[in-house]
């Protein structure tokens, strides 16, 4: 599958809003048993936050790490399923707020939870082709679950951004290979003008998340002559904590290579940002020379998988902006009624 010859992460940034609601609080409201919840708690965007503001925060940290001035950025692609506007790009707003070059490609991408890694596919290709020097690939979402629905426990808010440019010695990690694997699968969707998505429980696990995630991982490993042993960290999309661990079991991946990249337990499922936030969490701790396999999953359905090698630049650059753990420690717990207000579920 496609070898990526000359594209690398120069900077990465995460943003996690400070408000958290516990799974137990949601379970209490809906009379559910709090002992078997998909995640412990989830991050909730504040009243003045949305996909654009969170994308900007993550991008500012990514630019800071990269040491690249915003004016050198000439592609801004935001992957999201919660655009503030149905029509009006989020990318141009993000670009204007950051002060990127005017000569910038910009489009919002939609592919449920893999829209962010779809932006990575685009921007690595633009860089490799020599069309741009640097671009921003962003995954950001303020995911919404219908009150009382199973998704309400996990649908969270967050963002992650990567500054991608040509492979150089001082980069954070270089891309080696990528693969995309898609089929038409009706596991989750939201029609125009609908506020909340519909999910077909029958499809959620086996034919959707597991089939695409495992197919992408197997393809990228076998076609490039890698085995599980050649990879130091595996990063997955996380609709909950069980799913990525189940994939690890199927593929005989030691849990020690998966657990460091788990984020859903404390942040929830940040949709298009999820696997990118998890990748950032690994970049906070990985050493030069280590190999990461990052795989997203988006309903509808498909997975993007990337093999990356961590480079020397990581050691200095990771300290230039707040880490995943530092952002996570900024925490204010809210109750269900505050949550309803923040997520605009109270309509007057």
Partner 1 sequence: MKPLTSRPPFYWRLRPFIYRLEGSRCSVCGHFHPLNRVVCRRCGSRTLERERLNNAGRLVNYTVVHQAQEGFEKTTPYLVGWVEMDDGTNLVGQLTDCDPQDLKVGMTIEMVVRKLRVDGDSNLIVYGVKFRPLVQR
285 binds partner 1 (CB under 8 A): no
For partner 1, which is the closer residue by CB, 99 or 288?
A: 99
Residue 43 β-bridge partners: 20
Nearer to partner 1, 65 or 237 (CB): 65
Q: How far is CA 202 from the centre of its chain?
A: 25
Question: Partners of 54 in the beta sheet?
Answer: none
Q: Looking only at residues 223 through 282 of this chain, which bind partner 1 when binding is defined by CB under 8 A?
A: none
* 15-74 residues near partner 1, rule: CB under 8 A: 18, 46-50, 52-53, 56-57
Within 134-153, the residues that bind partner 1 by CB under 8 A are none
User: Which of 84, 148, 288, 289 touches partner 1 (CB under 8 A)?
Assistant: 84
The answer to whether 11 contacts partner 1 (rule: CB under 8 A) is: no
**Active-site annotation holds for 113:** yes
Segment near partner 1 (CB under 8 A); pick from 170-178, 223-231, 232-240, 314-322: 314-322
- State which residue, 235 or 327, has the beta carbon closest to partner 1: 327
Residue among 279, 291, 157, 285 at smallest CA distance from 220: 291
Residue 320 has φ and ψ, to the nearest 5°, of -85, -10
Catalytic residue among 113, 171, 274, 311: 113
Query: What is the nearest approach in angstroms of partner 1 to the Cβ of residue 260?
Result: 21
Q: Are 106 and 89 in contact (CB under 8 A)?
A: yes
The three state secondary structure string of 32-54 is CCCCCCCCCEEEECCCCCCHHHH
Q: Which of 10, 199, 212, 237 is catalytic?
A: 237
Question: Which residue, 84 or 289, is less far from partner 1 as judged by CB?
Answer: 84
C-alpha 258/C-alpha 253 separation (Å) is 8
What tokens were used for 15?
Answer: 């943003």
Tokens describing residue 118: 């779809």
Side-chain-side CA neighbours of residue 48 (13 Å):
0
Active site residue 274: no
Q: Does 319 bind partner 1 (CB under 8 A)?
A: yes
DSSP per-residue string spanning 129-140: TTS-SEEEEEEE
Contact segment (CB under 8 A) with partner 1 among 137-145, 222-230, 246-254, 319-327 equals 319-327
Q: Are the CB atoms for 113 and 299 separated by under 8 Å?
A: yes
In 3D space, the residue among 44, 82, 329 whose CA is nearest the CA of residue 158 turns out to be 44
User: Do β-strands 233-236 and 134-142 pair in parallel, antiparallel, or remain unpaired?
Assistant: unpaired
Quick check: helix, strand or coil at residue 201?
Answer: helix
CA angle, 70 as apex, 64 and 74 as ends, to 5°?
130
Nearer to partner 1, 193 or 252 (CB): 193
Which span (89-97, 130-138, 157-165, 221-229) binds partner 1, by CB under 8 A? 89-97
Nearer to partner 1, 16 or 208 (CB): 16
With contacts defined by CB under 8 A, name the span among 156-164, 229-237, 252-260, 317-325 that binds partner 1. Answer: 317-325
Interface with partner 1, residue 322, by CB under 8 A: yes
Residues lying near partner 1 in the complex (CB under 8 A) = 18, 46-50, 52-53, 56-57, 84-85, 93, 96-99, 319, 321-322, 326-327, 330
Catalytic residues: 81, 113, 237
């Amino acid at each position: 599958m496609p070898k990526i010859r000359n594209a690398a992460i120069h900077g990465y940034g995460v943003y996690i809003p400070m408000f958290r609601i516990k799974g137990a609080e949601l379970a209490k409201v809906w009379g559910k048993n709090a002992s078997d919840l998909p995640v412990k708690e989830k991050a909730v965007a504040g009243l003045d936050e949305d996909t654009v503001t969170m994308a900007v925060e993550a991008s500012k940290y990514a630019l800071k790490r990269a040491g690249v001035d915003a004016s050198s950025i000439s592609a801004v692609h935001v992957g999201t399923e919660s655009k503030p506007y149905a029509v009006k790009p989020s990318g141009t707003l993000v670009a204007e707020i950051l002060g990127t070059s005017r000569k910038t490609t910009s489009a919002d991408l939609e592919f449920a939870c893999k829209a962010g890694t779809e932006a990575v596919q685009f921007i690595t290709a633009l860089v490799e082709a020599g069309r741009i020097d640097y671009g921003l690939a962003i995954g950001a979402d303020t995911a919404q679950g219908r009150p009382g629905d199973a998704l309400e426990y996990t649908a969270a808010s967050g963002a992650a951004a990567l500054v991608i440019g040509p492979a150089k010695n001082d980069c954070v990690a270089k891309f080696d290979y990528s693969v995309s694997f898609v089929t038409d699968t009706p596991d989750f969707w939201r029609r125009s003008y609908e506020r909340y998505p519909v999910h077909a429980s029958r499809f959620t696990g086996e034919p959707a998340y597991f089939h695409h995630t495992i197919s992408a991982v197997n393809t990228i490993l076998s076609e490039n002559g890698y085995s599980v042993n050649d990879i130091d960290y595996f990063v997955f999309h996380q609709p909950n904590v069980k799913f990525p661990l189940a994939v690890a079991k199927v593929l005989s991946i030691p849990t020690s290579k998966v657990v460091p990249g788990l984020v859903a337990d404390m942040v929830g499922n940040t949709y298009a940002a999820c696997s990118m936030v998890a990748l950032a969490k690994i970049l906070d701790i990985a050493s030069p020379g280590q190999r990461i396999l990052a795989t997203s999953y988006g309903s509808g359905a498909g997975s993007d998988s990337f093999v990356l090698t961590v480079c020397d630049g990581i050691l200095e650059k990771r300290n230039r902006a707040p880490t995943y753990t530092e952002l996570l420690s900024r925490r204010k717990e809210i109750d269900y009624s505050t949550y309803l207000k923040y997520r605009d579920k109270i309509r007057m």
